[in-house]
């Protein structure tokens, strides 16, 4: 992790924790994790739990929140979808775009992800752009090709003034549910590629890049020591307040 970067700890709850569970989580997490000015905590609850999180965290402005996805249109006949302006009105400040599960399960292409990032920015939200290669792509040696394609698709459509508003998250999709493990060295290698492609695409040299692959209290310390890792995007380990608090404390 770079010395001049305020680390970010982001929690993607996916389709877990309803409103009642969310309120209990915030109460417990707030008791375990006092406010810190030297780190940033952002939670991405399911849509129906966003309101409960925003309300419960009202006395803790250091606990930020976001939505897990927005539609690429501002409005329309899109059953089940949520727009950027709707997300903004709910009280969140962030939004994910391009998560591997959205790409795989919902067919979000690079062009769709790029359009969603544009809508997120238009709604005055901060996007976290997720990128990463599958096992097949990695075994073919396509790490750089895939990351370059995903990153440049997003950057090409943005005004230069918006480039500094992007945060990125590298997901080693090849190591999720495959029985393979991504090491801190793997993370450092991939983050170096991501940063290079950001700069080549006109993005900010100092852009924040998170690591999102099976993060847990047991490995957070070594992950944060990996060069180029500015924080983490946590999945399952963020559903338990004790576990996520330990991660946000660097594993201690």
Give the catalytic positions in this structure: 99, 171
Residue 249: how many CA atoms within 13 Å on its side-chain side?
Answer: 15
Rounded to 10 degrees, the C-alpha dihedral 11/13/18/19 comes to: 20
* CA pair distance 78, 128, nearest whole angstrom: 23
b/e string for 17-43 if b means 16 or more Cβ within 10 A? Answer: bebeebbebbeebbeebeeeeebbbbb
Closest CA to 98 of 72, 121, 69, 118: 69
Q: Map residue 90 onto helix, strand or coil.
A: coil
Other beta carbons within 10 angstroms of residue 201's beta carbon come to 16
Q: Residue 93: which residues within 8 A CB-CB, separation 6 or more?
A: 42, 64, 65, 66, 125, 126
Closest CA to 157 of 67, 66, 72: 72
């Amino acid at each position: 992790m770079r010395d001049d970067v305020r680390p970010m700890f982001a929690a993607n709850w996916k389709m877990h924790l309803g409103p009642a569970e969310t309120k209990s989580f915030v109460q417990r997490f707030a008791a375990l994790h006092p406010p810190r000015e030297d780190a940033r905590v952002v939670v991405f609850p399911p849509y129906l739990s966003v309101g409960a999180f925003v309300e419960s965290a009202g006395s803790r402005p250091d606990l930020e929140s976001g939505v897990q996805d927005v539609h690429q249109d501002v409005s329309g006949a899109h059953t089940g979808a949520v727009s950027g302006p709707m997300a903004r009105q709910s009280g969140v400040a962030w939004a994910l775009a391009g998560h591997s599960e959205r790409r795989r399960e919902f067919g979000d292409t690079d062009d769709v992800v790029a359009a969603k990032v544009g809508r997120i920015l238009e709604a005055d939200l901060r996007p976290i752009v997720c990128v990463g290669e599958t096992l097949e792509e990695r075994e073919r040696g396509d790490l750089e090709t895939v990351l370059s394609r995903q990153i440049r698709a997003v950057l090409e459509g943005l005004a230069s003034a918006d480039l500094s508003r992007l945060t990125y998250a590298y997901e080693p999709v090849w190591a999720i549910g495959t029985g393979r493990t991504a090491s801190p060295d793997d993370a450092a290698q991939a983050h170096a590629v991501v940063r290079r492609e950001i700069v080549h695409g006109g993005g900010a040299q100092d852009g924040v890049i998170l690591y999102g692959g099976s993060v847990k209290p047991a490995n957070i310390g070594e992950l944060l020591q990996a060069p180029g890792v500015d924080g983490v995007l946590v999945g399952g380990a963020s559903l338990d307040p004790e576990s996520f608090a330990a991660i946000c404390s660097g594993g201690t």
